[in-house]
Homo-oligomer: A and B are copies of this chain.
Amino acid sequence: MGVLRIDGGRLWQSLMQMAEIGPGVAGGNNRLAFSPEDDAARGLFRRWCEAEGLALSADRFGNQFATRAGTEELPPLLIGSHLDTQPTGGRFDGVLGVLAGLEVMRCLNAGGVRTSRPVTLVNWTNEEGAIIRPMMGSEVFTGALPLDQARAMVDHRGRRLGDMLDALENGAGPGGPGFPVHAYLELHIEQGPILEQAGEVIGVVTAGIGFRRWLLRFSGQDAHAGPTPMEARKDAMVAAAHAVLIADRAARALPGGRGTCGRIASPNGSQVTVASQVELTLDLRHEDLAQLDALSARVLGEIEAQCRALGVGFASENTADSPPVPFDPAVIAAIEAARIRNGYPGRRMVSGAGHDTCNMARVLPAGMIFVPSANGISHNEAEYTSPEDCAAGAQVLLDSVLTLAG
């Protein structure tokens, strides 16, 4: 251990070669899950893995597995991420985790290293959820979403996922490795600005953040903007503006809190009419469930009180709930030790976005490694992580694999 070094140039070359499949319009990628481009990426992944002598398989939801045997009959260590992208996605989101896993396999092969446990590299199907809900591959793998139900779901164009998978050359297979699994490890770009702003290279992720989402509806009374005195108004726009600031202030006041109103609309709004209807989305996040509960209660309570004071009707529809997921202490410790051993500046941090690791961590030991995102930008073709940072992440992944696979 410690003598195996990632080949950063080889990793970068693989990343750039994969980026040629499903190019975007601005230097990034458009490689939607279930698309011909996704199929091509899956094919390239398969051929690369076969060239390394890995045992290929795929399950009925199309999750691809490439296994390197261990010296003992033990549950495997899983590593990986996803190759699908957003329609205007980047070259690193997900892809880095899969191809860094491939680079780990190449290093192990080149170094002639035998691990006790099998190591299985996975490419999860439909992580991005651009055409239907996200992170379905790991959801099916852990059983949180029954396979038949997943294959029967239809996307935004009415296409059945099972049919789309079966139409791919590199889609569904008879089955992959099942449980038990020893642990799961995922390298991913941060998709936020924290590491870059701190001048750090490695984030040791301790938990997946919890989130709650609502659609808020404000109902006032439409009235002519001229003849209606201020004190006679029931202005849904003013109520919604208060809501945005209540969420923003409450999240700022709570360390680690996030509060976002990302979408707003005033159906039938007019520039000369006091607004009667405003719709607003609210997303609240925290890594601690009790704090998330308290934040949610505070924000919704303050909005309701403000609406009452304004005489504006208020209704909230809960559209999503995902509790925080703590990652595994042993996996965290292995990653942290690898970071320190390599001398990479970094920190423990929380994942603010959802990842397949969050699904996995609900049923088995799991952890994540973050590397910096330039300007914190992701889900954007301008997404970028330097070759050095990609290599650093892969090195920490390799060392963690050596620790956890024995």
Contact = CB atoms under 8 A, between A and B. Distances in A.
A379 B223 CA distance: 8
Contact of A245 (B228, B245, B285, B354): B245
Interface in A302-349: 319
Nearest first, the 3 closest Cβ-Cβ pairs linking A and B are: A192-B227, A226-B352, A263-B269
A384 B274 CA distance: 19
Given A192-B229, A194-B229, A238-B248, 19 more contacts: A222-B380, A223-B376, A223-B377, A224-B379, A225-B258, A225-B260, A225-B285, A226-B285, A228-B376, A229-B258, A230-B252, A230-B257, A230-B258, A237-B261, A241-B244, A260-B272, A262-B266, A262-B270, A271-B319
Q: List the number of copies, as a whole number.
A: 2
Interface in A196-229: 197, 209, 211, 213, 222-229
A397 B238 CA distance: 39
A195 to B, nearest CB: 10
18 contacts: A191-B224, A191-B227, A192-B223, A193-B229, A209-B226, A223-B377, A227-B351, A227-B378, A230-B259, A232-B376, A238-B244, A240-B264, A260-B271, A262-B266, A262-B270, A262-B272, A263-B266, A264-B264
Contacts of A273: 260, 262, 379
A265 interface: yes
Nearest to A235: B248
Nearest to A228: B192
A281 interface: yes
Nearest to A252: B230
Nearest to A259: B230
Interface residues of A, number: 63
Given A197-B232, A224-B191, A271 B244 contact: no
A337 B274 CA distance: 34
A260 B275 CA distance: 9
Contacts of A223: 192-193, 376-377
Nearest to A285: B226
Interface of A: 190-194, 197, 209, 211, 213, 222-232, 235, 237-238, 240-245, 248, 251-252, 257-266, 269-275, 278, 281, 283, 285, 319, 351-354, 376-380
B248 A230 contact: yes
A232 B242 CA distance: 21
Nearest to A269: B263
B275 A227 contact: no
A76 to B, nearest CB: 29
Contacts of A245: 238, 241-242, 245
Given A193-B229, A263-B275, A274-B262, A378 B269 contact: no
A319 B238 CA distance: 22
A211 B230 contact: no
B260 A269 contact: no
Contacts of A353: 224, 226-227
A372 to B, nearest CB: 11
Contacts of A230: 248, 251-252, 257-259
Contact of A271 (B243, B281, B285): B281
Nearest to A244: B241
Contacts of A222: 380
A281 B224 CA distance: 14
Contacts of A237: 244, 261-262, 264
A73 to B, nearest CB: 39
